[in-house]
Chain A
Amino acid sequence: MSDLTATAPGRAAPRMAGRVKAAIILFILFALMPPLASALDDPFYVLIGTRILAYAIAALALDLILGYGAMVSFGHAAYLGFGSYAVAILSSYGINDLGLQLLFGITLSAVFALITGAISLRTQGVYFIMITLAFGQMAFFFFISLSAYGGDDGYGLSERSTLMGIDILQSDFGLYYVTLALLIAMFVLCHRIVMSRFGRVLTGIRENPTRMEAIGYSPFRYQLTAFIISGCITSVAGVLLANQAQFVSPAFMSWHRSGELIVMVVLGGVGTLTGPIGGAVAALLLEEWLGALSEHWRLWFGIFLVLMVLFSPRGITGVLERMGIVRTRQ
């Protein structure tokens, strides 16, 4: 009855169109934000915006496996950590190129995802949640004990990365637009994967793994591949976060952070790709906004979450559906 996924649709094709439209609208809004912020004389929001976009990438990546593969990873913050420590480690050797940092972060993540994914995929459901948590915590404790990079205190970065020798990222606007570009690229990537043959197999395994085996698929290979892809995309978010904060710390990879990523995905709408982007924006903006209004913002945020679940089973996507703004059912 209550399986691990909300009823994310298998009928990807006709529903997708609406979501892509919603995503395009979101991206346009994102692109307009910095000029608007400058016009309102608050360029500072660009920096907050960058953080939100980076989390959106992570939420998107998590949705790829959570929404389409029923793999609820509770250790995904580890990949944020690999991405950000890739920046720290390379920069301590004087390598500041964003491309190389991305490559290094992705490589670290791929290896970690390959090993831990192969073990975790022996389990299912809540057991999978907990075993991914275990691996996430191991990564967390590993970085805590990594004295060379400040251990628990973290490691400050003296400057942001360069992009092919150009220091476009030094300006907050530059960093913002590079992050946005990467978000769009990752969205396109995930969207195409979901629509592809591979994506259909992945979704099929979520629906009924025994049936899939009986028609000739071995679920493990597909799930593991998706798991690795998701980890790699999340590490991109980590690289960007490190640049945004100019600081890395194991706090980036604590289980709280993994939990928050899940909250963003579920809040936005599981298995919709666009939803989790919206979820990340909503969660972080709300936090920012409520935090400014009241010292007890957690209370209000909590109430918001509970009401959301009780009255809109499919998160923000569900609300929009009901208002007729997004159509996802036939």
Chain B
Amino acid sequence: MTGLDVKNLSKSFGALKVTDDVSLRVEPGEVHAIIGPNGAGKTTLISQLSGQLASDAGSVSIGDRDITHLSMPERVKLGLARSFQITSILPGFTALENVALAVQARRGSSFRFFGNVAGEAELNEAAMSALAEAGLDDRAEVLAKSLSHGEHRRLELAIALATDPKVLLLDEPLAGVGGEDAEAFVSRLQTFKGRFTMVLIEHDMDAVFALADRVSVLVYGKLIATGKPEDVRSDPAVRAAYLGEEEVA
């Protein structure tokens, strides 16, 4: 089991400091939720962790490996996967193909110019099981662009699972997953607990408090609190900045 260690990470867009000296330890196997108001810098932080955005300062390591200067694909190879807040899939591929590509990235070389990839049972089986875990196996043969919004969210999760991550960064996985389905989705995520380390960004507080072992609160790029869900929930600063009264009830 691998943990994630973030030290003094910062990022600015022009004059705007979006993440400001963020330090965070995610223990191996832990589900660590990051909450905070819109525009606090959560997605930016995930992008820095995954290597999509270069950081201005600070370091990131998984396990005891420093990955600060690795590219996004290299980080994925080391077991760091992410999902996107704004759906990012391959629209012209079927759901199965979307996931199979993620499997392929981890298995064998992709510089194989011969052999029919669609017929590779090894890839398809692994992809099917990832789809099943995300609850999308019955839509495997549908083109991704014809899936509904909620189905896209599951596909996001399936793709991330298929990269066989050690550390999984989930950016609002529940967004768009309907009320009825949300509970099922949360319990599905619950089954992943212990399989890998998870960083979870979510505005759905029910999900956060059901899943997270610890919660960090990011406001204007700064971490203002980290702790057990109950403690964070009752923290007046957090309530004022983020939760308000209604949702806690």
Q: Which A residues lie at the B interface, using CB under 8 A? A: 7-13, 192-193, 195-201, 203-204, 207-208, 210-218, 222, 225
| A225, B111: Cβ atoms closer than 8 Å | yes
Bound-state CA distance A11–B105 (Å) is 18
Residue of A nearest to B97 (CB): A10
Partner of A196, one of B50, B105, B117: B117
Q: Please indicate the chain B residues that have their CB under 8 angstroms from the CB of A193 in the complex.
A: 113-114
- The contact size tier of chain B is 35 or more
Q: Which 6 A-B pairs have the closest CB atoms?
A: A216-B76, A13-B118, A10-B92, A216-B105, A10-B93, A207-B90
| A216, B77: Cβ atoms closer than 8 Å | yes
Contact status of A197 and B117, CB under 8 A, knowing A204-B90, A208-B91, A215-B163 = yes
| B110, A222: Cβ atoms closer than 8 Å | yes
Q: Which B residues lie at the A interface, using CB under 8 A? A: 50, 52, 71-73, 76-77, 81-82, 84, 88-94, 97, 100-102, 104-106, 108-120, 143, 159, 162-163
| B110, A201: Cβ atoms closer than 8 Å | yes
Bound-state CA distance A208–B87 (Å) is 11
| B73, A218: Cβ atoms closer than 8 Å | yes
| B76, A214: Cβ atoms closer than 8 Å | yes
Q: How far is the CB of B187 from chain A (nearest CB, A)?
A: 25
What are 28 A-to-B residue pairs whose CB atoms are below 8 Å?
A9-B92, A11-B97, A13-B118, A13-B119, A193-B114, A195-B115, A196-B112, A196-B116, A197-B120, A200-B97, A200-B100, A204-B90, A204-B93, A204-B101, A208-B89, A208-B90, A208-B91, A212-B90, A213-B52, A214-B50, A214-B82, A214-B84, A215-B81, A216-B105, A217-B73, A217-B105, A217-B110, A225-B111
Q: Please indicate the chain B residues that have their CB under 8 angstroms from the CB of A208 in the complex.
A: 88-91
| B90, A211: Cβ atoms closer than 8 Å | yes
Q: How far is the CB of A324 from chain B (nearest CB, A)?
A: 22
Contact status of A13 and B116, CB under 8 A, knowing A207-B92, A208-B90, A214-B50 = yes
Q: How far is the CB of B158 from chain A (nearest CB, A)?
A: 11
Q: How far is the CB of A275 from chain B (nearest CB, A)?
A: 17
| A211, B114: Cβ atoms closer than 8 Å | no
| B159, A198: Cβ atoms closer than 8 Å | no
> SS class of chain A's interface: helix, strand, loop or mixed?
helix
Residue of B nearest to A193 (CB): B113
Bound-state CA distance A277–B93 (Å) is 25
Partner of A214, one of B52, B93, B94, B143: B52
Q: Please indicate the chain A residues that have their CB under 8 angstroms from the CB of B76 in the complex.
A: 214-216
Contact status of A195 and B104, CB under 8 A, knowing A11-B93, A216-B76 = no
Q: How far is the CB of B33 from chain A (nearest CB, A)?
A: 21
Residue of A nearest to B159 (CB): A215
Bound-state CA distance A142–B108 (Å) is 43
| A214, B90: Cβ atoms closer than 8 Å | no
Bound-state CA distance A218–B51 (Å) is 12
| A198, B118: Cβ atoms closer than 8 Å | no
Bound-state CA distance A11–B91 (Å) is 11
Q: Please indicate the chain A residues that have their CB under 8 angstroms from the CB of B112 in the complex.
A: 196-198
